Amino acid sequence: MVSDSDVSEKAPLCDQVPRELGEYRASIDNLDAALVHLLAERFRVTRKVGELKRQEALPPADEGREERQLLRLKEIATTAGLDPTVVDLIFPALMSEVRRRHQELRGDGPRPL
Amino acid sequence: MVSDSDVSEKAPLCDQVPRELGEYRASIDNLDAALVHLLAERFRVTRKVGELKRQEALPPADEGREERQLLRLKEIATTAGLDPTVVDLIFPALMSEVRRRHQELRGDGPRPL
């Protein structure tokens, strides 16, 4: 049999889990909003790059640069305590989308140099 | 025939493209470093969530929450001038990785509730 005192002692412990989870989720939501704002700025800049490349008939991608970017970001990830494989989850997809948009900006496909 | 004066007049224009491209790329590199640092913090927080869920035998994912997160982030993207489809490029992959890690933390697979 559970006495009233047992219930009243347990209640704060039961509340603690959703409160802790709620606080973590508030942090995740803030970080995600910040991520979206940074992505918005990144696409603003890559659009300018795309326009410059179209004007100057430069190729839509520089494979060497993408490889260097990924290597550098994996180093930054490791220093920041983030598993560097997370970089592969995000950045190749971003870079591929940017490349697609650069191609779109200059017409159906990349023009010959 | 190209005179010396033509060359000297053209030189600054030729330099302008790589300089402009270089400046945009410096911005992209800074934004990417910031993105990686935010991702590091996001995974630091989701690890705490995973540990809490393991302790309390909570399920590794809350599908309803993921859908709400995606909707909210697409709204933030639209307000920030970012094509909301970019949210689909990034966040489902992140959420799936977090879910995988939560499952790993609690053993081979999700325990029954």
Maximum alpha-carbon separation in chain A: 83
What is d(CA B102, CA B61) in angstroms, rounded to the nearest whole number? 8
Q: Which residue has the higher pLDDT, A3 or B32?
A: B32
pLDDT exceeds 70 at position A109: no
Amino acid identity of residue B48, one-letter, is: K
CB B67 within 8 Å of CB A64: no
Q: How large is the C-alpha radius of gyration of chain A?
A: 24
Best B16, B27, B36, B91 member to test A by mutation, with max A CBs in 10 Å, is B36
pLDDT tens profile B26-69: 999 999 999 999 999 999 999 999 999 999 988 877 879 999 99
What is the mean pLDDT of the segment spanning B70-74?
Answer: 98
Give the chain B residue nearest A96 (alpha carbons): B89
**Residues of chain A contacting B83 with CB distance shorter than 8 Å:** 43
pLDDT tens profile A8-62: 444 455 677 789 999 999 999 999 999 999 999 999 999 999 999 999 988 877 8
Helices (H) and strands (E) in chain A, counts: 3, 0
Q: Which residue has the higher pLDDT, B92 or B110?
A: B92
pLDDT tens profile A59-104: 877 879 999 999 999 999 999 999 999 999 999 999 999 999 999 9
The correct CATH number of B4-105 out of 1.20.59.10, 2.40.160.40, 3.20.20.150, 3.30.300.30 is: 1.20.59.10
Give the range among A14-18, A108-112, B72-76 with minimum mean pLDDT: A108-112
**pLDDT more than 90, % of chain B:** 65
How many other CB atoms sit within 10 Å of the CB of residue A52?
Answer: 16
Reported as a pLDDT band with limits 50, 70 and 90, residue B13 is low
Q: Which residue has the higher pLDDT, A7 or A55?
A: A55
Best B90, B95, B105 member to test A by mutation, with max A CBs in 10 Å, is B90
User: Which of left, alpha, beta for B83 (phi over 0: left; psi -120 to 50: alpha)?
Assistant: beta
Check B82 against A40: CB less than 8 A apart. Answer: yes
Nearest to A32 among B20, B58, B69 (CB): B69
Residues 6+ apart with CB under 8 A from B17: A52, A56, A58
